[in-house]
Amino acid sequence: MEPAAQHDPRYALSPVNAEFRDLATEVAFREHMRPIWVRDTRRAFILAALFYLAFSITDFLMMGQGEPYATVLFTRVLVTCLALFVAFSANRYWRLLMDGITPTLVVALAMAGFLSITLLRPFDPGWHGMSMMVMLLGTYVFIPNRYLPALTVALISTVVFFYLMVDHFELPAKLSFIMGLLFLGMNLFGAMSAHRISRLTRMNFRDEQILRQANQRLTEEVMARRRLEQDLINQVHHDELTGATNRRRFQELARLHMRQAEAGRQALSLLLLDLDYFKQINDTYGQLRGDEVLKSLVRVCQGLGPVDMDEVVARLGGEEFAMLLPGLDQEAARMHAEHIRASIWNTPVTLTDAAIHITVSIGVVQWHPGESLAELLNRADQALQLAKCRGRNRVAVAEEGMRLPMSGPDSHNTANPARTQ
């Protein structure tokens, strides 16, 4: 992830404050870290406040009652109350927290209170020095804050504290030099630790964002590939013009439904539909208009099946269509076919300059266990031819031993039933 991040200016880190140079990225980081910083700040301030107040007991033991102790106690109570207020309001004022305002305010006040009571407490320089180191540790590491505000408070407090020690206790040069080195090392290590924590925290955020973006791109690519695969499957399984199942896929599904019907001893019926006088429609209105007629027919057929029925609408070729009706016996299939026929007749096809009514002839058969698909289609075709022989725009059911008239299907009702609205 490092090379990718180095080339993305949004995630460039400033060497000075260890924050993102891009303001939008820094804001996003602070919003991302909000729940963690709110939780850590709350815990740190509660613990630090109680620890800060607890030393009022040692102050009393060393100072006893009096005005100096009252001043020390008041200062400790004031700092403790402010820390607890920030702790319990951290979630409400989280923007001030994330911007470093409230942590800096509390730490600065705590440092000011500590420095103001330092000379009132009857301790030697070594004891005061250890107390100051604890305060610096909290400023740099223990209290969550931005790097530069924490560094500023720590350095100013160190300079003031060092001046107080040297001036009040009149430390010799050797001891002052040693104390100066100790506080220099303490601030150096604290600053390096705070800078490193700030930098690593943002680097983790950067890596998470880059990984999330990579996963999102990968997800989008997978979804695009799946859509492409689905499109290819649709192209293989469906008729390009009407969207109906194509002949090859119909044969696969028909055999599957036949096996399921045989295993479950369920009914399975087949409708064979033929658009009446389609050649005349093409000759009169053109092939493009004829295509719209075919699409309208498929839409009507697909919209009439029961919701719980796994019907299959397929285009077998030209203007001939088939419908598999699982779960319907021959009589139910005939009634469904009548519904389809009437719906097609009553649904005008709107063309550019006209709206026409079309009709279909439908043959109905019920599959017999053990019967092949070819035999089923042959019986359905015989029923379809019977519907045509009887005048088209009607439904016919396959009959045992049925023989068609010698004159053929075109000997009846030669007038084109498609009429313009």
Indicate which residues carry an active-site annotation.
Answer: 319
pLDDT over threshold 70, residue 417: no
Residue type, 65: Q
Length in residues, the chain: 421
Residue type, 281: I
* pLDDT in the model for residue 411: 39
Band (340; pLDDT cuts 50, 70, 90): very high
- End-to-end Cα, the chain, rounded Å: 68
Q: What is the pLDDT of residues 139-148, one digit of tens each?
A: 999 999 999 9
- Higher per-residue confidence, 158 vs 354: 158
Query: Which of 75-84, 248-257, 277-286, 335-344 is predicted least confidently?
Result: 277-286
* pLDDT in the model for residue 413: 41
The pTM (predicted TM-score) of the whole model is 0.61
- Higher per-residue confidence, 39 vs 401: 39
Query: E strand or H helix at 363, and its extent?
Result: strand 360-366
Q: How far apart are CA 312 and CA 343, in angstroms?
A: 18
Mean pLDDT value of segment 230-236: 82
Band (236; pLDDT cuts 50, 70, 90): confident
Band (350; pLDDT cuts 50, 70, 90): confident
CATH 2.40.30.10 assigned to domain 247-420? The reply is no
pLDDT over threshold 50, residue 1: no
3-state secondary structure of 303: coil
* pLDDT in the model for residue 376: 94
pLDDT over threshold 80, residue 3: no
Band (221; pLDDT cuts 50, 70, 90): very high
Q: What is the pLDDT of residues 245-281, one digit of tens each?
A: 999 999 999 999 999 999 988 999 999 999 999 998 8
Helices (H), 244-286: 247-264, 278-285
* pLDDT in the model for residue 414: 42
pLDDT over threshold 80, residue 410: no
Mean pLDDT value of segment 314-322: 91
Every domain of the chain and the residues it spans: 2-216, 247-420
Mean pLDDT value of segment 147-160: 96
pLDDT over threshold 50, residue 386: yes
In sequence order, the 6+-apart residues with CB closer than 8 A to the CB of 174 are none
